[in-house]
């Protein structure tokens, strides 16, 4: 009986155009992939600088495995904290301009850990309504009072902060919103933190490595910094490898080492990954030409998709969402592109709000102008 109920729920999702399914890559991550045995031009990876298959990172990972083995064997606080971990934390902190940094296995675990460690009962969390699910789950697990403000609405956020008179206050937000591609108003958020004695947790998963001078992220893009800011960056997107980090004041990092459950109670990442990421940081820092090329592709795509019946949402980042609205229509367009050998994911609720299903086009510095032109032509064909 219980299995019949599960199947019925899955069938209902399928009817609504919401059923999720996996596809298997038979090739390394790149703009040109093989999925379930068929070749595709892909526009759905977060490998923004094209580093996931970079030969220097492959070599660094191989050398790291040779030197340090393939597993950490224990949590960081037991016997799983290796010299490459320590070096990477130091270099990440310096790269983003913070006193200290702490590695996590994933961005999801980093967000869970930092929110739960910094606030709890009697405190308040203020969250943008379009935040990533990991931030939403983190604030619920923290058991603090949750207050969500309309996307980017600083006036509403200010009113919420003014009404909060006791406890710690933590504002949490994506720096680059993963489904819309727009940037949070970081200077305004920081000003509110200063006025109301609050922390600001920035999830810079889609800004780190891509935005700002030398790819140092969203804080560098805006030219701001503050001891109040706690920065989360992921290492499996622009950095091309895996993992995440929190960068903040030393007292915050020490607090996480002692209280972030998703750090304390999990096995450390393999030290070989940190060896590869040390090489990745060098490539990011030297990657201005890659970022310039990426911005050129963004401009090419936005110009080329003008006049379509679907709205290309405002974004200057590598995330270029094409708003379709209807779930089935978004799936149909994705399938139409797939028939033409192009892979673009259809994003539907609950990942995005009801009625805002979209194609989430993501560009990489590994794409060529011809790749983008092919996508533009296919979408114009499908619009006819």
What are the residue numbers of the active site? 178, 206, 237
Closest by Cα among 110, 148, 341 to 231 = 110
Whether residue 329 is annotated as binding a ligand: the answer is no
Q: Label the pairing between strands 100-104 and 244-248.
A: antiparallel
Whether residue 132 is annotated as binding a ligand: the answer is yes
Whether residue 351 is annotated as binding a ligand: the answer is yes
**Residue 128, phi then psi, degrees to nearest 5:** -65, 140
Tokens 């155009």: give the residue: 17
Three-class SS state of 241? coil
Whether residue 368 is annotated as binding a ligand: the answer is no
Longest CA–CA separation in the chain, Å? 61
Output the six-digit token pair for 199: 């922390």
Output the six-digit token pair for 256: 């996480």
Whether residue 206 is annotated as binding a ligand: the answer is yes
Output the six-digit token pair for 80: 């799983």
DSSP 8-state symbol, 268: P
- Distance CA(199)–CA(43), nearest Å, equals 35
Output the six-digit token pair for 383: 């619009």
The length of the chain in residues reads 384
Q: Can the peptide bond before residue 301 be classed as cis, meaning omega within 30 degrees of 0? A: no
**Residue 54, phi then psi, degrees to nearest 5:** -65, 135
Output the six-digit token pair for 254: 């020490």
Whether residue 222 is annotated as binding a ligand: the answer is no
Per DSSP, helices labelled H in 120-246 are: 133-141, 154-162, 186-196, 218-222
Q: How far from 216 is each of 40, 98, 351, CA to CA, in Å?
A: 31, 11, 28
Whether residue 108 is annotated as binding a ligand: the answer is yes
**Inter-residue contact 192 to 171 (CB < 8 Å):** yes
Output the six-digit token pair for 346: 């259809």
- Distance CA(51)–CA(285), nearest Å, equals 13
Closest by Cα among 225, 170, 224, 172 to 197 = 170
Q: Annotate 346-367 with DSSP letters as a single string.
A: EE-TTSS-TT-EEEEEE--TT-
Q: In what order do the strands lie in the sheet with 342-343?
A: 32-35, 38-42, 342-343
Residues comprising the binding site?
20, 107-108, 132, 178, 206, 234, 351
Residues comprising the binding site for pyridoxal 5'-phosphate?
107-108, 178, 206, 234
Residues comprising the binding site for substrate?
20, 132, 351
């Amino acid at each position: 009986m219980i299995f019949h109920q599960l199947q019925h729920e899955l069938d209902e999702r399928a009817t609504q155009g919401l059923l999720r399914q996996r596809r298997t890559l038979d090739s390394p991550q790149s703009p040109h992939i093989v999925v379930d045995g068929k070749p595709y031009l892909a526009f759905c990876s977060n490998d923004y600088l094209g580093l996931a298959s970079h030969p220097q990172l492959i070599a660094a990972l191989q050398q790291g495995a040779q030197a340090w083995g393939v597993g950490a064997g224990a949590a960081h606080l037991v016997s799983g904290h290796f010299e490459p971990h320590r070096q990477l934390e130091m270099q990440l902190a310096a790269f983003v301009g913070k006193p200290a940094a702490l590695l996590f296995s994933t961005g999801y675990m980093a967000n869970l850990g930092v929110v739960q460690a910094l606030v709890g009962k009697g405190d308040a969390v203020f969250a943008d309504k379009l935040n990533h699910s990991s931030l939403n789950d983190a604030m619920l697990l923290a058991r603090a009072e949750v207050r969500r403000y309309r996307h980017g609405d600083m006036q509403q956020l200010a009113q919420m902060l003014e009404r909060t008179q006791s406890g710690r206050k933590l504002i949490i937000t994506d720096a680059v919103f993963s489904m819309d591609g727009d940037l949070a108003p970081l200077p305004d958020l920081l000003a509110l933190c200063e006025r109301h004695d609050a922390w600001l947790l920035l999830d810079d998963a889609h800004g780190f490595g891509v935005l700002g001078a030398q790819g140092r992220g969203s804080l560098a893009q805006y030219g701001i910094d503050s001891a109040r800011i706690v920065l989360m960056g992921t290492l499996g997107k622009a950095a091309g490898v895996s993992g995440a980090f929190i960068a903040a004041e030393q007292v915050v990092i020490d607090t996480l080492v002692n209280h972030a459950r998703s750090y304390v109670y999990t096995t450390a990442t393999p030290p070989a990954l940190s060896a590869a990421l040390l090489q990745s940081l060098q490539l990011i820092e030297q990657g201005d030409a890659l970022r310039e090329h990426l911005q050129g592709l963004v401009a090419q795509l936005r110009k080329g998709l003008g006049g379509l019946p679907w709205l290309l949402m405002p974004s200057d980042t590598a995330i270029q969402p094409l708003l379709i609205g209807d779930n089935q229509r978004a799936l149909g367009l994705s399938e139409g592109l797939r028939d033409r050998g192009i892979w673009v994911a259809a994003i539907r609720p609950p990942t995005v709000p009801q009625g805002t299903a979209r194609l989430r086009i993501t560009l990489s510095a590994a794409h060529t102008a011809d790749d983008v032109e092919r996508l533009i032509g296919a979408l114009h064909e499908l619009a006819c």
